[in-house]
Structure 1
Amino acid sequence: MTDRTLDLDDFSDLIERPHGGLRRDAEERRARTGLPPEALGRLDELGEWLTAAQGRLPVQPVRQPRLVVFAGDHGVASLDVSSHRAGSAHTLVREALEGTTPAAILASRLEVPVRVVDMALDCDPEEFPAEVTRHRVRRSSGRLDIEDTLTAQEAEAAFRAGMAVADEEADAGTDLVVLGDLSVGGTTAAGTLIAALCGTDASVVTGRGGGEIDDLAWMRKCAAIRDGLRRARPVLGDQLELLAAVAGADLTAMTGFLLQSAVRRTPVVLDGVVSAACALVAQRVAFRAPDWWVAGHAGSEPAQAKALDRMALDPLLEQRVEVGGGTGALLALPLVQAAAELAAGLPVRDDGDEKDGDTGGDGDDGGGSDSPALDAT
């Protein structure tokens, strides 16, 4: 066993809130457009959030969004808790890469590049391109109801992989990430994390996953989450141990990705219950981190609603989308883009008093930040 070298407490110091002063300036700028205060609904709020995240007034249009999807299989799926066969997440990934999934089709229509990151698919890594598999930690994750899903070393490696992906996106100029997942058994892991962090029983958070499972499968899933909770609760004080116990490699990487994206000042649109669970763990690590995220949509998973409520994140859409892969978050992307266009493009009165442009100093010009960051390597 090697010593643990990753100190999650550092994130609390590295993650700052988005530029609060610029958010107030954006509110004042919006008030001078002449439109009634509530005329644009939540688009005003989104525009102000982006202004603060970018550190620019007026806000810049979202020009380089990317869909980042973390993928993996979960050992708990062998209990028949999913509508998909255990170990079959690689088929979902293949369909996404071929452009035939709902998320891939939407991404193509919206001209959003798609990046899939294999963390623990149950297949030969040679089945996919090296850029998909190069961060893989293991083949499938352990069964969360009876064993740790990852060793301590694997958990740290997965977390650092997520951080590395966040750094790569920031360095590439990605100005907004749409975060998705492709897994079999992932919603069971997500439900376990959320139940543990919210202090609720398994039955309260158990939904029917990305497909319609029957009542017997729901009861098996509920029992698996109950057993996972017994293993999760003793390690609630250490988030990396918690992730190793019940999360699996893909959810652990997503948590690292969310935290490092906040460090790099890259805003993120969350998708369904899996990304919500990872965000909830990340909030435990750094309480300011949720200021860098918006919830794209509300699905029917009860665990997602509990997690978003705990983080005070109000979903932009309620379309009850459950197919995963970032589909629901992609549906919300045009709203975010529209908010930026309106915030930047609406003419304001007293233009002579307006000091538009990059503020320098406190803000940053998008994903490629020079802000201090934890080393993912």
Structure 2
Amino acid sequence: MPDFDWLFEPVAQLDESARVAAIARQNQLTKPPGSLGRLETIATDFAAWQGRERPALARIGLAVFAGDHGVAARGVSAFPQAVTAQMVANFAAGGAAVAVLAREAGASMAVVNLGTVTPTDAVPGVINHRLAPGTADFTQQPAMDSATLGAAMAAGAGQVEPGLSLFVGGEMGIANTTSAAAVFAALADLDGAATVGRGTGVDDAGLAAKRAAVDAGLARHRERWCSESPETAALAVLECLGGLEIAALVGAFIAAAQRAVPVLVDGFISSVAALAAVRLNAGVADWLIFGHRSAEAGHARVLEALGAKALLDLDMRLGEGSGAMIAIPVIRAALAVHAKMATFADARVCSND
């Protein structure tokens, strides 16, 4: 039996005194109160996360988790499963979009293969766990067993280093928007029509196949989680419908909150993982910030379920962690103006006080 007890351990406490100090500083900066909008709340949130009045992004960790999905056999993707391992190699070589954006953002990147149909053991720079050659087709059987789920979540947690200023989780896996849509549908009591989008760009037939696969998975496994508590129900949903990389993201997000590391969440798939993490451990919600609103159908619903508002909306739907990387300069700007702007007293400018 895998050890899931760690998932329910309390998260780190926010430093509310640091937030109060940061708010007081904001109120003395040479601008009308609230005029920098969300840049101000980004700064005060980071103050509470880092425990200091003037927070900074010193170390950003990005882990891109990969895994294949048996549901790909249902014709739910525009690309073959071989692409997952090929993209893993592209990540490690620095050629993928998220790799370029990570370098620009000053983030260190790890590429973690939980289990692809094509092994990547010989690819330099890849951390290989080889938990399974992908998940099973969830329309026919559970995607994975509990031992594999536990191992994937632990592998995700292992990528979160204490002391990071920010953690970002990315993902890669052909058919993983179908898996994420199924997980979200189960957690939110929706159906395939409400949660499924075009993902890699499938045509109308592919979209119909995705919706049918999600609905078939829900029908086959619903009894498995309906009688559970909210926490154990989320584990059952992940076991029945999830992906290895999605499970790793859930484990990473929970571990980050427990280790006092804020999480910048990417798009649809990462946000579904965040929702599962919050269902397992409600305190995780206090450690999340959302980078962008994906163009993938269903993401707006996930954000609504989390009570979250993304920083950016650029019609992106690539995944990988790419949207989160684009948001990092916004966070840096927020922290820079918070730390470096003059106060009214510094500039000898009259305030309203």
Scaled by the length of structure 2, what TM-score is found?
0.91
C-alpha distance after superposition, 1:66-114 (max 9, x if no partner): 2211111111112121121124201111112222221112222233221
Conserved 8 A contact 2:120-2:126: no
Please tell me whether residue 28 in structure 1 is matched to residue 24 in structure 2. yes
Please tell me whether residue 153 in structure 1 is matched to residue 147 in structure 2. yes
Please tell me whether residue 222 in structure 1 is matched to residue 217 in structure 2. no
Q: Deviation above 6 Å: which 4+ runs of structure 1?
A: none
**Number of residue pairs matched?**
340
Q: What residue in structure 1 maps to residue 49 of structure 2?
A: 53
Please tell me whether residue 233 in structure 1 is matched to residue 228 in structure 2. no
Q: What residue in structure 1 maps to residue 324 of structure 2?
A: 329
Superposed counterparts of 1:1-377, under 5 Å: 3-7=1-5, 10-11=8-9, 14-59=10-55, 61-129=56-124, 131-133=126-128, 135-166=129-160, 169-170=161-162, 173-209=163-199, 211-236=200-225, 237=228, 238=232, 239-349=234-344
Q: CA deviation at 1:266?
A: 0.6
Alignment partner of 1:29: what SS?
Answer: helix
Scaled by the length of structure 1, what TM-score is found?
0.86
**Greater relative CO (CA pairs within 8 A, separation 6+):** 1
Structure 1 segments unaligned to the other structure (5+ residues): 352-377
Conserved 8 A contact 1:73-1:88: no
Aligned letter for 2:36?
L
Q: CA deviation at 1:217?
A: 0.2
Conserved 8 A contact 2:187-2:237: no
Q: CA deviation at 1:4?
A: 3.8
C-alpha distance after superposition, 1:232-251 (max 9, x if no partner): 43333322222111102111
Structure 2 segments unaligned to the other structure (5+ residues): 347-353
Conserved 8 A contact 1:192-1:202: yes
Root mean square deviation of aligned Cα: 1.7
Q: Closer, same or farther in 2 for the Cα pair 1:204/1:111, shift >3 Å?
A: same
Q: CA deviation at 1:286?
A: 1.3
Alignment partner of 2:197: what SS?
Answer: coil
Identity of aligned residues (%): 29
Alignment partner of 1:314: what SS?
Answer: coil
Conserved 8 A contact 1:158-1:252: yes
Q: Distance in 2 between matches of 1:8 and 1:222?
A: 34
Conserved 8 A contact 1:62-1:176: yes
